[in-house]
């Protein structure tokens, strides 16, 4: 029988007032409809751990879609429902969302629904979950608001900080749980329980991960690489032998590990700059992991992960360009260590931010990191004040010289030859005059 205790006090203490009220509102609608309503999963786990998480998942014993529609009608929300899965999303006017699921619908097939049947239906639903720590449910109905349901020892595993599956076939049933186990372990600072770890090893030996579709594998990888500090999880994936399922040549060699760890530092630096544009952290880590892959191998890895061709084509060409640039920089530095801003601009211009941060992480030289830093934080924002219309107003006739003069003005800006609009205008006039005759002649041709 489940260990029930009330965590109503905790709900009152740890949640913002609005969130607490929302839980009560959900329970009230459940009371009115005669449906048992639970907050469930990650929300309850994090609540007990004292980790902020307002991502509330609700499970209704019975018809979750009906519940969602009734709740929405009373609280001015919209509903998006998925009939095939008996799930719904309640969308609040401010954009906040709550996922609503239904327990198994066998519930409807038994006419005289007894409380024990209801409870076993919730239990059945929870049994399909990944780990014990995710199986805790809190009742939201008025009379028993805050009552915790713990069928599988989730509270004890939270206490002992263990990630544990519910049964031996869990990873065979859904191999993506291998990645989820690592993700939760590393995020929460837990351990995968010894028996669960053995089950992972045997799942790996049985190659069950080969059965996971590319998109699902990619999705798990992305979720891991988006975690705050993914290096531990990467090390763990390598330890379990998971990387070769992405590509046989993918190994966490010491030099790759260096690039991966350096990636963490580069990203931390980037965040400190508070740059407005978001950077896809997972992409930088993915590039770092694949650092030693040849272009063909990288291509195969992307194909295994079902990365759409349109995207992967772009990634390959950027990756090739980036690695070529790095070689060019090394050669250039051997010739002369003095580098002009316009050269830096020229090297990095056109490469996505993720690729630049990867270059900074994989470069062994301090200078390269400094160049990337200068480009990202300053140079890429540099603009001329004159545009095409401005040049035309200064007397430049339409033609190919627009491009070359604009480029020349940008170089002057980057290298500090001109430092204000006045000087830029003077230089523009000089450039236009220098062979203005030629462009006029060309025009008349």
Separation CA 236–CA 261 (nearest Å) = 14
Q: Choose between 180 and 304: whose C-beta lies nearer to ligand ATP.
A: 180
If 0-12 CB within 10 Å is exposed, 13-18 middle and 19+ buried, where does residue 88 land?
buried
Tokens representing 1 are 């029988």
Q: Which residue is nearest to ligand ATP (CB)?
A: 42
Q: Choose between 55 and 255: whose C-beta lies nearer to ligand ATP.
A: 55
Q: Which residues pair with 90 in a beta bridge?
A: 79, 98
CB of 315 to ligand ATP, least distance (A): 26
Q: Choose between 134 and 149: whose C-beta lies nearer to ligand ATP.
A: 134
Separation CA 240–CA 6 (nearest Å) = 39
CB of 131 to ligand ATP, least distance (A): 7
CB of 180 to ligand ATP, least distance (A): 6
Q: In what order do the strands lie in the sheet with 5-6?
A: 5-6, 147-149, 137-139, 36-40, 57-61, 97-102, 87-91, 78-82
Residue ranges binding ligand ATP (CB under 6 A) = 41-42, 55, 129-130, 134, 174, 176-177, 180
CB of 42 to ligand ATP, least distance (A): 3
CB of 277 to ligand ATP, least distance (A): 24
User: Mind giving me the DSSP string for 324-354?
Assistant: HHHHHHHHHHHH-S---HHHHHHHHTTS-HH
Instruction: Select from 87, 101, 81 the least CA-distant residue to 41.
Output: 101
CB of 145 to ligand ATP, least distance (A): 21
Q: Choose between 42 and 214: whose C-beta lies nearer to ligand ATP.
A: 42
Q: Choose between 237 and 427: whose C-beta lies nearer to ligand ATP.
A: 237
Instruction: Select from 159, 198, 162 the least CA-distant residue to 178.
Output: 198
Q: Choose between 59 and 325: whose C-beta lies nearer to ligand ATP.
A: 59
| Number of helical (H) and strand (E) elements in the chain, helices listed first | 23, 10
Q: How far apart are the first and last CA of the chain?
A: 94
CB of 54 to ligand ATP, least distance (A): 11
Residue 146 — left, alpha, or beta (φ > 0 → left; ψ -120 to 50 → alpha)?
left
Q: Choose between 306 and 394: whose C-beta lies nearer to ligand ATP.
A: 306
Instruction: Select from 324, 311, 320, 329 the least CA-distant residue to 374.
Output: 329
Q: Using N-to-C axis directions, what is the helix angle for 64-75 and 17-33, rounded to 10°?
A: 120
Tokens representing 68 are 């969602």
Q: Choose between 51 and 382: whose C-beta lies nearer to ligand ATP.
A: 51
Instruction: Select from 253, 223, 225 the least CA-distant residue to 238.
Output: 253
CB of 93 to ligand ATP, least distance (A): 24
**DSSP label of 112:** S
CB of 130 to ligand ATP, least distance (A): 4
For residues 226 and 233, the answer to whether their CB atoms sit within 8 Å is no
Q: Choose between 119 and 180: whose C-beta lies nearer to ligand ATP.
A: 180
């Amino acid at each position: 029988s489940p260990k029930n205790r009330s965590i109503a006090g905790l709900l009152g203490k740890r949640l913002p007032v609005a969130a607490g009220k929302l839980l009560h509102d959900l329970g009230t609608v459940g009371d009115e409809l005669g449906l048992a309503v639970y907050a469930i999963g990650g929300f309850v786990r994090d609540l007990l751990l004292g980790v902020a998480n307002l991502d509330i998942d609700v499970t209704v014993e019975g018809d979750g879609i009906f519940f969602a529609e009734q709740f929405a009608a009373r609280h001015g929300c919209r509903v998006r429902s998925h009939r095939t899965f008996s799930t719904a999303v309640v969308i609040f006017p401010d954009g906040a969302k709550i996922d609503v699921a239904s327990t198994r619908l066998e519930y409807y097939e038994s006419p005289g629904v007894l409380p024990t049947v209801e409870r076993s239906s919730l239990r059945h639903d929870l049994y399909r979950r990944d780990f014990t720590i995710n199986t805790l449910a809190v009742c939201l109905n008025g009379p028993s608001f805050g009552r915790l349901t713990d069928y599988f020892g989730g509270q004890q595993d939270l206490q002992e900080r263990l990630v544990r599956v519910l049964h031996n076939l869990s990873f065979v049933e859904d191999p993506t749980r291998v990645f989820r186990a690592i993700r939760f372990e590393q995020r929460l600072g837990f351990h995968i329980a010894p028996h669960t770890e053995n089950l992972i090893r045997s799942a790996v030996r049985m190659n069950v991960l080969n059965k996971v579709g590319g998109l699902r594998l990619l999705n798990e990888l992305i979720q891991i690489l988006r975690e705050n500090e993914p290096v531990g999880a990467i090390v763990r994936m390598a330890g379990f032998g998971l990387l070769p399922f992405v590509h046989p040549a993918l190994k966490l060699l010491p030099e790759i590990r260096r690039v991966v760890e350096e990636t963490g530092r580069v990203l931390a630096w980037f965040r400190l700059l508070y740059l407005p544009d978001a950077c896809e952290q997972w992409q930088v880590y993915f590039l770092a992991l694949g650092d030693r892959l040849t272009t063909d191998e990288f291509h195969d890895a992307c194909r295994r992960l079902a990365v759409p061709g349109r995207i992967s084509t772009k990634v390959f060409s950027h990756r090739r360009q980036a690695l070529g640039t790095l070689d060019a920089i090394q050669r250039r530095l051997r010739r002369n260590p003095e580098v002009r801003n316009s050269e830096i601009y020229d090297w990095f211009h056109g490469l996505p931010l993720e690729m630049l941060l990867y270059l900074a992480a994989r470069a062994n030289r301090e200078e390269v990191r400094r160049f990337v830093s200068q480009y990202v934080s300053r140079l890429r924002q540099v603009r001329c004040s004159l545009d095409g219309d401005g040049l035309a107003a200064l007397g430049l006739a339409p033609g190919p010289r627009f491009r070359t003069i604009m480029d020349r003005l940008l170089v002057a800006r980057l290298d500090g030859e001109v430092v204000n609009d006045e000087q830029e205008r003077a230089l523009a006039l000089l450039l236009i005059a220098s062979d203005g005759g030629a462009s006029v002649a060309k025009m008349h041709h």
